[in-house]
A and B are shown apart, each in its own frame.
Chain A
Amino acid sequence: MQRIIEHPVLGPLPDVPMVKIIVDGEPMEAREGEMIAAALIATGKKYFRKTIKTHEPRGIYCGIGRCTDCVMTVNGIPNVRTCITPVEDGMVIETQMGYGVWKQEQ
Chain B
Amino acid sequence: MEEREVVVIGAGPAGLSAALEAARSGAHVLLVDENSKPGGQLFKQIHKFFGSRDHRAGVRGIDIGTQLLEEADALKIEVWLDAEVCGIFNQRDVWIVRNKEKSVNVRAQRIIIATGAVENSVNFPGWSLPGVMGAGAAQTMINLHRVLPGFKVLMVGSGNVGVIVSYQLLQAGADVKAIVEAAPRLGGYGVHTAKVRRAGVPFHTSHTVLEARGTDHVESATIVQIDDKWQPIPGTEKVLDVDTICIAAGLTPLVELAFAAGCEPLYSPLLGGMVPWHDASMRTSIPSIYIAGDISGVEEASTAMEEGRMAGLSAAHSLGYVAEQVYEVGFKAAEQRMLALRSGLFGQKRRDAKAAIMAQTRG
Q: Evaluate contact between B217 and A59: CB separation under 8 angstroms.
A: yes
Of all chain B residues, the one with the shortest Cβ separation from A43 is: B147
A62 touches B134 (CB 8 A): yes
Question: What is the 8 Å Cβ interface bit string for chain B, positions 12-27, against chain A (1 contact, 0 not)?
Answer: 0000000000000000
Scan B132-145; emit 1 where CB is below 8 A from any A CB, else 0.
Answer: 11101110111101
Q: Which of B148-156, B267-275, B287-295 interfaces with chain A?
A: B148-156
Contact count A vs B, C-beta below 8 Å: 102
Q: Bound state CA distance, A10 and B45, in angstroms? A: 11
Instruction: Decide: A1 near B150, CB < 8 A? Known: A64-B41, A86-B36.
Output: yes
Check B147 against A61 for contact (C-beta < 8 Å).
Answer: no
Say whether B145 contacts A35, CB under 8 Å.
Answer: yes
Task: Find B136's partner among A35, A48, A63, A86 (CB 8 Å cutoff).
Answer: A63
**Which residues on the B side are within 8 Å of A63 (C-beta)?**
133-134, 136-138, 140-141
With A62-B136, A63-B136, A63-B141 given, is the CB distance from A4 to B131 under 8 Å? Answer: no
CA distance A83 to B138 in the complex (A): 12
Q: How far is the CA of A8 from the CA of B143 in the complex (A)?
A: 11
Residues of B near A60 (CB, < 8 A) are 130, 133, 137, 141, 149
Cα A63 to Cα B148 with chains together (Å): 13
Distance A3 CA – B130 CA, assembled complex (angstroms):
18
Choose among A2, A8, A66, A67 the residue that contacts B171 (Cβ–Cβ < 8 A). A8
Give chain A residues whose Cβ lies under 8 Å from the Cβ of B175.
none
Contact between chains at B217 and A46 (CB < 8 Å): yes
Contact for A64 among B136, B215, B217, CB less than 8 A: B136
Pairs across A and B, CB under 8 Å, 11 listed: A1-B147, A1-B148, A4-B142, A4-B147, A9-B171, A57-B130, A57-B216, A60-B133, A60-B149, A61-B133, A63-B134
Chain A interface residues (CB < 8 Å from chain B): 1-4, 7-10, 13, 34-35, 37-38, 41-42, 46-48, 56-67, 69, 83-84, 86
- Other A-B pairs beyond A41-B141, A47-B130, 15, CB < 8 Å: A3-B148, A4-B147, A4-B173, A7-B146, A7-B171, A8-B171, A10-B143, A38-B146, A41-B149, A46-B217, A57-B217, A58-B128, A64-B137, A65-B34, A83-B140
